[in-house]
Structure 1
Amino acid sequence: MDNVTPLGGDVYEIDTRMAGYSGITAGYLILGDRPCLVETGTSTSAPVVRDALTSLGVGAEDLATVVVTHIHLDHAGGVGDIAGFYPSAEIVVHEKGARHLADPSRLMKSARRVWGDKLDVLFGTLSPTDSARIRALGDTGEIDLGGGRTLSSHYSPGHAKHHVGLLDSRTGDLYVGDAAGVYLPETGDLRPATPPPDFDLDVALGSIATFSALGPQRLLFSHYGPVGEVAATLERSAEELQIWVDLTKRARDEGLDLDHAVAMVRDRTRERYSALRADDETAERFELLSGAPSNVGGILHWLNRVPEA
Structure 2
Amino acid sequence: MENVTPLGGDVYEIDTRLAGYAGITAGYAILGDRPCLVETGTSTSAPVVRDALASLGVGAGDLATVVVTHIHLDHAGGVGDISAMFPAAEIVVHEKGARHLADPSRLMSSARMVWGDRLDTLFGMLKPTDAARIRALGDTGAIDLGNGRQLTSHYSPGHAKHHVGLVDSLTGDLYVGDAAGVYIPDTGDVRPSTPPPDFDLETALASIALFEALGPQRLLFSHYGPVDEVGSILERSAEELLIWVDLAKQAKGEQLDLDHAVAMVDQRTRDRYARPAPGDKAAEHIEMLSGTEPNLAGIMHWLDRPEA
Query: Normalised by the size of structure 2, how large is the TM-score?
Result: 0.98
In structure 1, the partner of 2:295 is 295
* Structure 2 Cα separation of the partners of residues 182 and 296 of structure 1: 15
Question: Residues 178 and 222 of structure 1 are in contact (CA less than 8 Å); yes or no, is this contact kept in structure 2?
Answer: yes
In structure 2, the partner of 1:196 is 196
In structure 2, the partner of 1:90 is 90
1:39 has 2:39 as partner: yes
* Structure 2 Cα separation of the partners of residues 265 and 139 of structure 1: 34
Percent of aligned pairs sharing the same letter:
79
SS of aligned partner of 1:142: strand
In structure 2, the partner of 1:167 is 167
Q: For 2:114, give the aligned amino acid.
A: V
Q: How far 1:163 sits from its partner (Å)?
A: 0.1
In structure 2, the partner of 1:278 is 277
* Structure 2 Cα separation of the partners of residues 97 and 286 of structure 1: 24
In structure 2, the partner of 1:5 is 5
Q: How far 1:283 sits from its partner (Å)?
A: 3.8
* Structure 2 Cα separation of the partners of residues 8 and 148 of structure 1: 18
* Structure 2 Cα separation of the partners of residues 60 and 284 of structure 1: 34
Question: Residues 182 and 289 of structure 1 are in contact (CA less than 8 Å); yes or no, is this contact kept in structure 2?
Answer: no
* Structure 1 Cα separation of the partners of residues 236 and 153 of structure 2: 23
Q: Deviations over 1:127-148 (max 9, x none)?
A: 0000000000000000000000
* Structure 2 Cα separation of the partners of residues 89 and 98 of structure 1: 15
Greater Cα offset, 100-109 or 285-294: 285-294
* Structure 2 Cα separation of the partners of residues 70 and 9 of structure 1: 24
* Structure 2 Cα separation of the partners of residues 306 and 268 of structure 1: 27
1:109 has 2:109 as partner: yes
SS of aligned partner of 1:280: coil
Greater Cα offset, 245-254 or 284-293: 284-293
Q: How far 1:290 sits from its partner (Å)?
A: 1.2
Question: Residues 180 and 237 of structure 1 are in contact (CA less than 8 Å); yes or no, is this contact kept in structure 2?
Answer: yes
Query: Normalised by the size of structure 1, how large is the TM-score?
Result: 0.98
Q: For 2:148, give the aligned amino acid.
A: G
In structure 2, the partner of 1:138 is 138
Q: Deviations over 1:235-255 (max 9, x none)?
A: 000000001100011000001
SS of aligned partner of 1:288: helix
Q: For 2:139, give the aligned amino acid.
A: D
1:56 has 2:74 as partner: no
In structure 2, the partner of 1:185 is 185
Question: Residues 159 and 193 of structure 1 are in contact (CA less than 8 Å); yes or no, is this contact kept in structure 2?
Answer: yes
Q: How far 1:289 sits from its partner (Å)?
A: 3.4
Root-mean-square deviation (CA), in Å?
A: 0.9
SS of aligned partner of 2:269: helix
Q: For 1:280, give the aligned amino acid.
A: G
Q: For 1:83, give the aligned amino acid.
A: S
Q: How far 1:296 sits from its partner (Å)?
A: 0.4
SS of aligned partner of 1:255: coil
Alpha carbons of structure 1 residues 157 and 93: separation in structure 2 relative to 1, 3 Å: same
Work out the number of aligned pairs and report it: 307
Q: How far 1:285 sits from its partner (Å)?
A: 3.1
* Structure 2 Cα separation of the partners of residues 32 and 269 of structure 1: 44
Extract unaligned runs of 5+ from structure 2: none
* Structure 2 Cα separation of the partners of residues 63 and 90 of structure 1: 9
Q: How far 1:179 sits from its partner (Å)?
A: 0.1
Q: Deviations over 1:36-61 (max 9, x none)?
A: 00000000000000000000000100
Q: For 2:195, give the aligned amino acid.
A: P
Q: Deviations over 1:131-188 (max 9, x none)?
A: 0000000000000000000000000000000000000000000000000000010111
Point out 4+ residue stretches in structure 1 off by more than 6 angstroms.
none
Extract unaligned runs of 5+ from structure 1: none
SS of aligned partner of 1:32: coil
Question: Residues 184 and 286 of structure 1 are in contact (CA less than 8 Å); yes or no, is this contact kept in structure 2?
Answer: no
* Structure 2 Cα separation of the partners of residues 285 and 96 of structure 1: 28
Q: How far 1:263 sits from its partner (Å)?
A: 1.2
